[in-house]
Amino acid sequence: MAIKKEMQVPLHISRRAEKLRTLIEYHSHRYHALDLPEISDEAYDALLHELIGIEKEYPALVTADSPTQRVGGAPLEKFLKITHEIPQWSFDNVFSPEEFALFDERVRKHTGKSTSYIAELKIDGFKIVLTYEKGKLMTGATRGDGVVGENVTENIRTIRSIPLQLARPLNCIVEGEIWLPKLEFERINEERTKNGEQVFANPRNAAAGTVRQLDPRVVASRRLDCFVYDMARTSEIMPETQEEELELLASLGFQVNPHRRLCNTALDIVSYWKEWTRKKDKQEYLVDGVVVKVDERRIQESLGYTAKAPRFGIAFKFPAEEATTLVEDIQLQVGRTGVVTPVAHLRPVRLAGSVISRATLHNEDQIKRLDVRIGDTIILRKAGDVIPEVVRVLPELRIGKEKPYCFPEYVEACDGPIERVPGESAYRCVNRGSFTQLKRRLEYFTSRHAFDIEGLGPKIVELLMRKGLVASPDDFFTLTEGDLSVLPGFGEKSAQNLVTAIDERRRISFSRFLTALSIEHVGEETAHDLARAFGTFDALLNASVDELERVPGVGGVIATSLFEWLHKKEHQTMLDKLRNEVTIEKQNMPTKKDSPLYGKTIVLTGGLVTMTRDEAKLRIREAGGNISSSVSKETDYVVAGEDAGAKLAKAKELGVRVVTEKEFEQMFK
């Protein structure tokens, strides 16, 4: 009978459930997003209780966007990866009115006139990317590395200020900030203290830790909140200004922070920044600065992006927090390439919401410039999310027992002496094969920037090394469940999970593989440039120094370093073993070589209307074209958008073919 009841829901019950869902979402939005409740909490609870009862009796009525689903479902085994349709950028930072003035100057130089800005509060929380289809919430993803994040949809559904159903059935991708109210943060920490658990350092950490809980019911028990601030993509026409975009988001049902201001001058922005420097601590959420964006979308698109951040916006951070503490010791830290970095061990001090006990001193020259001694009282600064830094020493507090620091000749972690790199301020291990350096390289090999093997953190890597199971990257792929199950902290299930996680990474992109090798001077961006230039790892192996040096972004130093590394016998032996275990995927290349852009060099200039600069670059690469930042006789096409300037003039001077954005689009068709 239960099955029959589930399949045949009475029409009046179905309609009642639909009306309840609509009404509950309406009052939830009034309460959580607008702070304008129309009914009492008791009345709201009664409506929700009725819907829960109906759905319990008729499970077929349960929908993914039902308000009842905010309570959280069964625990997850792990988060799945999700590739962002829109690359996730971070804003560059400025910390003073003078630095902001330089940003404003760059914008005015580009536009040739003064520009209006929208100033918004920068919420110190956890970024989330929400995707809606026909108005229904489909996915919620973390920022991750900007390209790939984690699917945390089930957790996001528990946050009441995030609508499960929009006011209109449009398709869109929006971005926002999840935050934890200060009072809720205190309540959670009190609860964790009673349970003997480690407390969270600050509300931001608590929000991030909560979003990444595998049990949605835990997420539901904490009162997370969310402000949405950006419409990244929509099936409707995009608003012409940032102000109109925020109004659109609010009309769709999102909670938008109300404390924004349209500013006509840089002085107006500085005034807003100073005002909120005083008022920020009065809010129920953490605010660590002001986000400033050019208001007009046309100008935003014209300014475009750098490799890391938008040019049309900036994060204007509040004055850095500073504190004083004692330098208890200075110790050397050995990196994966053998570079030795001095680190100040400090008397623990709370700074910018976190307890700080260490700060990098960068190198010998920095220590001498600051005259930092063991036992000194120093001023420590933490600006935004950057690593804490020693600003200066307070020599007037010295008592005569402070000890100057000298770099030793022998470092235990190097298993030998260290030497100063000629022409640089860094020291490096003479012996490149120490246990510590190998451990750092193997840790990086498995990290999210490289092979991204879940469960292979630093502690496990060190355990495997000390047990003699891993001495080279290829050894990870020969591990068996029997090898792991007998190790401390492992059981049959955890051993099986790790072997499975390793097997899932036997295919890897060319650029990630190259990044994972820890070759000096070859980071993620350079690895991507090389992968794009050569297509396959074999082609890279066969390249000469001159061919390497001709790759955009690769100079003589990097080319020589890479060539020498690839042709060392010990590295070739390791690569042969590793390539027997993994498959290096070819760099994505076009399937049709008859594309008019195949093998051509293209320069983009001016603002594009129908696509962003990065979308244009991606399409060029997929079509087999090469992108250059400067016009020369080797340039095949210059794509001229709105307000094209010097590059367009250079193209005409050299006789390079200039195409409009419309002609550019036709090339792909």
d(Cα 246, Cα 552) in Å, to the nearest integer?
A: 39
Residue 596 has what DSSP assignment?
T
**Angle value at C-alpha 96, between 95 and 100, nearest 5 degrees:** 95
Residues 6+ apart with CB under 8 A from 590: 598, 622, 623, 624
Spatial contact of 188 and 142, defined as CB atoms under 8 Å apart: no
**Catalytically annotated residue among 109, 122, 282, 617:** 122
Contact 587, 512 (CB under 8 A): no
If you search the block for the tokens 């410039």, which residue do you land on? 369
Give the other-Cβ count within 10 Å of 4's Cβ.
Answer: 7
Helices (H), 214-372: 216-221, 242-252, 266-279, 297-303, 364-370
Report CA 500 to chain centroid distance, whole Å.
26
What region does 370 belong to: left with phi over 0, alpha with psi -120 to 50, or beta? alpha
Length of the chain measured in residues: 669
Task: Give whole-number Cα distances, 666 to 1, 611, 636, 659, 662, in Å.
Answer: 61, 13, 16, 10, 6
3-state secondary structure of 565: helix
Is 459 annotated in the active site? no
Question: Tokens at residue 660, please?
Answer: 């409009």
Contacts of 535 (CB under 8 A, 6+ apart): 510, 586, 587, 589
Tokens 């957790």 -> residue: 155
Which spans in 393-523 are helix H? Answer: 435-446, 458-466, 481-485, 492-503, 510-516
In sequence order, the β-bridge partners of residue 508 are 584
CA-closest candidate to residue 245, choices 303, 300, 295, 313 = 295
Give me 201's structure tokens.
């350092």
Alpha helices (H) in 280-338, listed in sequence order: 297-303
**CA separation for the pair 159, 180 (Å, rounded):** 11
Beta strands in 256-372 (DSSP E): 261-263, 287-294, 313-317, 321-334, 339-351, 354-360
**Hey, which residues are catalytic here?**
122
